[in-house]
Amino acid sequence: MSIKLKQVFSGERLMEIHALYETAFPAGEKKPFSMIISGQETGLVEILSAEENDTFLGLAIMAKSGDRVLLDYFAIASERRGQGTGSAVLQALKERYQGMRIIIEIESTKCVDEEELVIRTRRKSFYLRNGFTMLSYYVDLWGTEMEMLSNGLPCPYEEYLDIYTTAFGTQVSDRIHFWGKHRLQLSSDSTRKRFSKNYGSISQNVHRGML
């Protein structure tokens, strides 16, 4: 699979990205799309189209500060899910941001609802299988508890929060709070084995969005 990531500023492709953005993520986790576009105009946000042979596969919206980049939103078009597209796009993102610390937020797997727990665990397993590792803390992101991952590089909470402050301002970052540290830090291998035992081999292609 030959994936290309193209930064999009206008036109029909931006409309496709906006449409997928509106349908893929919960209302409480979405910023106004105009805020994302404004962030891109400053050079601190990138709206990326994942494509193969000029066919739209999905979106990645990245927020940057220094040597850190946050995968703020990640979604694969519904017709391309379950085909390894999500993993291929993640690999392309790692190549694009080589040498940078890539940070990811996922909804906490300390969920009590069984059905929601399975969805969240699949999402976590997807990122672990693709080489991301757990950071040692949780955050409260606008009232939702999030677990934190990176591409194997450390990122303290203060440096993570600075990405939001830099890219979107304090009106966003002031609504994010340190939740606490993990009691036990598991390696990606041990975590993956536990998830594989409980849930089997699972493919997940959407970041903080629908499966």
pLDDT at 186 over 70: no
pLDDT at 195 over 80: no
94-105 confidence digits (pLDDT tens): 999 999 999 999
Burial class (CB in 10 A: 0-12, 13-18, 19+), 156: exposed
Average pLDDT of 9-24? 97
- 123-181, pLDDT tens digit by residue? 999 999 999 999 999 999 988 899 999 999 999 999 999 999 999 999 999 999 998 88
pLDDT of residue 194: 36
Mean pLDDT (the chain, rounded): 87
pLDDT digits (tens, 9 = 90+) for 65-88: 999 999 999 999 988 888 899 999
Residue 196 is predicted with a pLDDT of: 36
- For 13, 42, 90, 123, the CA distances from 48, given in Å and listed in that order, are 10, 15, 12, 21
Can you give the pTM of this predicted structure?
0.84
Q: Report which of residues 56 and 208 the model is more confident about.
A: 56
Reported as a pLDDT band with limits 50, 70 and 90, residue 192 is: very low
